[in-house]
Structure 1
Amino acid sequence: MITNEFWLDRWKAGQIGFHKEGVHPRLIEFWPILPQRSQVLVPLCGKSNDMIWLAEQGYQVTGVELSSLAVVQFLGDNDLSYETHQEGELKIHTVLDLPLRIVEGDYFLFSEDNFDACYDRAAMVAMPESKRADYVAHTLSRLSPTASTLLISLHYEGDKQGPPFSVDEQSVMTMWGNNIQKIASEDLAQTNPQYKEGNYQFFNETVWRITP
């Protein structure tokens, strides 16, 4: 059973193979051009440096993360000065030198809305099937009617069962609605040594754009 405690324990044990150092090349390649100061939501952000890249482009970035350890590591690893205040059950960590803040707590308790864009590299695929549609609906309700989303999904066949979970393309399209377009796909089992050695028949990483 994948619960909040499961993820907190993974962070405490350092079992964070899902964390990627550096900036994801797909983000740099496919992120849409948006007006400066656009509000960008990054659900289940972990300690991803993708948020630094987005903030450096001039966007107002809000990451939401359950694990206090992930938040502390992100702020510390990047030598960020910040201020913290409490809003209900959520802690808001506002970075002083970048247009960036981390909301610490359960994503399903996060109720701000009208974001201009969303970046999901590892959030949907972290959700078990029983929670996946609720996650997508909650995320869509955080966005403005004109928002753009860049989504990265995984679909694989092999010994590993997740997380990250395999989500087939039809399920992705059904959950996110009609305005979704596949813009890139790569079988990492053919191109990445980490996955070549993982006994996968295929391990497809697919990039999607969801527009109004």
Structure 2
Amino acid sequence: MITNEFWLDRWKTGRIGFHQEGINPKLVEFWPALPKNSRVLVPLCGKSNDMMWLAEQGYEVTGVELSSLAVIQFLGDNDLTYDTHQEGDLKIHTVNGGLSLRIIEGDYFQFSEDNFDACYDRAAMVAMPDSKRAEYVAHTLKRLSPSACVLLISLQYDGDTQGPPFSIEEDSVPLLWGNHIQKIASENLAQTNLQYKEQGHSTFDESVWRIQP
């Protein structure tokens, strides 16, 4: 059962293979051109440096993360000073200085701000078991403006591996996100990365999807 405690334990014990150092090249390649100060939501952000890249493009970035360890590591690793205040069960960490960047610490399903201009999801939907996936997508879409852009990365793989990250059938992505979402790139990582072959995969497709009104 994938619970909040499961993820907190993963961070506590350092089992965070899902974390990527550096900036995701697919973010840099496929992020849509948006006006400066557009509000960008990054659900289940971990300590991803993709948030730094987005903030450096001039966007107002809001990451949401359950683990206090992940939040503290992100702020510390990037030498960021910040102010913190409590709003209900959520802690709001607002970075000082020139970057417009906030990390909301707490349960994403308790986060209720809306009208974001864009969403970046590299590791959030794939962290959701099938039983929570529709709820996650519905909750995320409620956070976005009607004309918002979405950049989503999904995985579909063969073999006996159980997630997270979970394998998501390609056909289910438009069913969850709506017909406006389009697949714009795909790569079989099992052909380029020995790690996936050693795990018994012949197919480990990483696909990039975008909603661009």
TM-score range, shorter chain: over 0.9
CA distance in 2, matches of 1:169, 1:210: 15
Equivalences for residues 89-108 of structure 1 within 5 A: 89-97=89-97, 98-108=99-109
2:150 counterpart residue number: 149
CA distance in 2, matches of 1:118, 1:11: 24
Partner Cα distance (2:177, 2:146) in 1: 14
Deviation at 1:196, TM superposition (A): 2.5
Question: 1:168: how far off?
Answer: 0.9
Per-residue deviation at 1:211?
2.7
Structure 2 SS opposite 1:117: strand
Q: Percent identity?
A: 77
TM-score by length of 1: 0.99
Structure 1 distance, partners of 2:152, 2:13, is 28
Which residue of structure 1 lines up, in the alignment, with residue 174 of structure 2? 173
What does the per-residue CA deviation read over 1:139-165, in whole Å, with 9 as the maximum and x for residues that have no partner?
000000110000000000123111000
Name the CA distance, whole Å, in 2 between partners of 1:45 and 1:8: 14
Q: What's the RMSD between the two structures over aligned residues?
A: 0.7
Per the alignment, residue 19 of structure 1 pairs with 19
Where does the alignment leave 5 or more consecutive residues of structure 1 unmatched? Answer: none
Secondary structure in structure 2 of the residue aligned to 1:201 = coil
> Which segments of 5 or more consecutive residues in structure 2 lack a partner in the other structure?
none
In 2, distance between residues paired with 1:145 and 1:177?
12
Name the residue aligned to 1:38.
Answer: 38
Alpha-carbon deviations, 1:89-146, whole Å to 9, x = none?
0000000121100000000000000000000000000001100000000000000011
Aligned residues: 212
Q: TM (normalized to structure 2)?
A: 0.98
Q: What does residue range 119-158 of structure 1 map to in structure 2 within 5 Å?
A: 119-158=120-159
The 1-side partners of 2:62 and 2:55 are apart by 9
State the partner residue of 1:28: 28
